[in-house]
Amino acid sequence: MGFSRRSFLHRLGAVGGAAATYSAMVSLGLMAVPARAGPMSLPAGLGRGRSVVILGGGIAGLVAAYEMERAGFTVTLLEARDRLGGRNWTLRNGSRIEMVGETTQTVAFSDGLYMNAGPARIPSHHEGLLGYCSRLGVPLEVEINSSRSAYIWSAGSNGGKPIQMRQGVNDTRGYISELLSKALSRGALDQDLSAEDREKLLPFLRAYGDLDETGAFRGTERSGFAQVPGAAGQFGRSREPLPFRELLANEQLRATLFEDQLYMQATMFQPVGGMDRIVAGFQRAITSPVRMNAEVLEIRQSPGAVAVTWRDRVRGTTETAQADFAVVTLPLNILAGVESNFDKPVKAAIAGVPHDYSNKIGFDAPRFWEKDQIYGGISFVGGETNLVWYPSNGLHTARGMLLACYGSGRAAKGFAARPIDEQIAIARGVVARLHPGHEADLSAPAVVNWSKIPFNMGPWPAWGGRGGQEGHLDDPAYRLLNLPHGRVYFSGAHLSQMPGWQEGAVLSAQRTLNLIAERVSNSVAEGRARASAA
């Protein structure tokens, strides 16, 4: 006799309860495992009588604690620092920056200024993180990720002069449109396009590149005014176009495509008051024990439990917690130094992934850039400092936090090896080239070399020896660590396709919770089925 899905779920619920029904709905595709959308909701009684210890209080650990607490688990969260958030770290006046091998810095920004030392923007398609912002009451504002008044600049090209982004974008578009228009007119693409397609493409190119009636690019007002339009007969006059050769010689020309990258496309968001407002939202909502300054020393699991030993960094004492499950969100290079009885392949996978490099340097400054109509956005400079990032908040106020370095990868490794004073001097010198005369306005520098930050020692892993904040990751170690290891579940942005983004942490944590939910619900259903049979 056959059963409908509805009758099957009804009978399963009678035997296994809500947890078993939830698991079956996931398996049948009636309740999808989250892949993108916002906050999840596990059945309220799923974890009743079960416990979990969560290692690491970054975004993944906070999501896990928040959701598992609400699902009825007994939750203990261990964090080695005296703050939560992990890479979600906002510096304000009085903040201390401790880096291995360096003198501790004390931030001296003006009141109200802050520097997001880690993540500083949220794309609008990161619905998981945005969903938690909504759920936790974290107010957001627009992050101005691109300004056409900002610059591209690289030493040795265009006489070392910065090129305004709008001119780099539109002059390049004009020249390329002219070349393609000429190719069409000469029949060079006849084998690729029909006559009808050519007739439609030519007028589009004229509009796209702002070409004249002959199909030539002779400059465009899109690139800015040499004379601004004014009253009466003061007509606007466009700038002379830069020579195409100068544009092609500029090493930062590719940066004109920055805002076309999916991760950087408008609209972008930031929490009002700093990225750590998200952490504060989780901290208000989580009522389970949160142990700060708890440095994990050892993880041991048996068939029936997980035991985690940690040291209180303030008191110097050690404690051990036992739980049914452990969710481990520690960075892999930190986890590699923790004693464990993990299987050898798992230990090798953890120890074999190098971490990348990333640096930020911020200054307190009067808002001189706003006099050049730069409101938010980024100037791309290349080299060791990579960019200058202008603040989106506090527009038209007296002072702002200017980020004069945000570089990652190979160049960042060498830069972090320089003395701190030298790093500051180089960043200051870049600002001097972009905004001559204003280097003296920069005060209260704050330097963050993520490769030296305790309990991180790097911003994100370099899977396969390659750095990057996002990618198509499929290394053997990556696949292995995305699987449960007994009662231990590894989780975090580093085990997502977005290791440099908070959304990766959210989605990895949600995936982990669904794996645990399925395991618990299956166990409950099996136990009740055995009891019913007896």
Across the chain, mean pLDDT equals: 92
List the structure tokens of 168: 């780099």
Residue pLDDT, tens place only, 44-58:
899 999 999 999 999
Domain with CATH 3.50.50.60 in the chain: 5-85+277-354+460-533
Q: Cis peptide before 309, with omega less than 30 degrees from 0?
A: no
Fold of the domain built from segment(s) 165-250: de novo design (two linked rop proteins) (1.20.1440)
Residue pLDDT, tens place only, 46-94:
999 999 999 999 999 999 999 999 999 999 999 999 999 999 999 999 9
Gap between the Cα atoms of 508 and 461, Å rounded: 15
Residue pLDDT, tens place only, 231-259:
999 998 989 999 999 999 999 999 999 99
Asked whether residue 23 carries a pLDDT value surpassing 60, the answer given is no
Domain with CATH 3.90.660.10 in the chain: 90-150+265-272+357-452
Chain length of the chain: 534
Q: CATH second-level architecture of 90-150+265-272+357-452?
A: Alpha-Beta Complex (3.90)
pLDDT band (50, 70, 90) for residue 117? very high
List the structure tokens of 494: 């580093």
Sorted by sequence, the CB contacts under 8 Å of residue 523 that are 6+ apart come out as: none
Q: Which residue has the higher pLDDT, 270 or 528?
A: 270
- The position carrying tokens 């959304």 is 503
Q: Which of 147-151, 237-241, 416-420, 504-508 has the lowest mean pLDDT?
A: 237-241
- Please check whether residue 431 is in contact with residue 442, taking contact to mean a CB–CB distance below 8 angstroms: yes
Fold of the domain built from segment(s) 5-85+277-354+460-533: FAD/NAD(P)-binding domain (3.50.50)
Domain with CATH 1.20.1440.240 in the chain: 165-250
Q: Which residue has the higher pLDDT, 123 or 13?
A: 123
Q: What is the pTM of this model?
A: 0.91
Residue pLDDT, tens place only, 371-418:
999 999 999 999 999 999 999 999 999 999 999 999 999 999 999 999
- Position 52 scores a pLDDT of 98
Q: What is the mean pLDDT of residues 507-532?
A: 88
